[in-house]
Amino acid sequence: MSIFLSLLTFFGLTSEYRVTLFKQIHEIVFHGKGGYDWNTIYNMPIWLRNYTFREIKEFYEQENSRAKESNTNKTKKILGPDIDPTYKSRASKK
């Protein structure tokens, strides 16, 4: 009698893989901005889905880094109003 230590069945996906798959499909559909629908991505060959996911991920990473660079270049010290320190707000009493 043989005892198999594997808890996985021969057919089917593990729950971890399913979560990863559905998250990947969601990311492609959401960040694809209407270019993809769920059914198309689900039925897409795995290699093509992985490629599409990587390309979209790279695009948004580059976009974020460019935005951060432009924000750091634009940060300037905010100066207060140019007021003469000898100015007196009240009229002097005579």
Contact 29, 38 (CB under 8 A): yes
pLDDT at res. 42: 93
Tell me if 83 is assigned to some domain. Answer: no
Both structure tokens of 2: 């043989």
**For residues 24 and 94, which has the higher predicted lDDT (pLDDT)?**
24
Tell me if 22 is assigned to some domain. Answer: yes
The radius of gyration of the chain from alpha carbons, rounded to an integer in Å, stands at 30
Predicted TM-score of the model (pTM): 0.60
Question: Domain total for the chain?
Answer: 1
The parent domain of residue 67 ranges over 15-72
Give the Å distances, CA to CA, from 15 to 18, 77, 92: 5, 52, 82
For residues 64 and 52, what is the distance between their CA atoms, to the nearest angstrom? 18
Give, as one character, the DSSP assignment of residue 57.
Answer: H
Indicate if the pLDDT at residue 68 is higher than 90. Answer: no
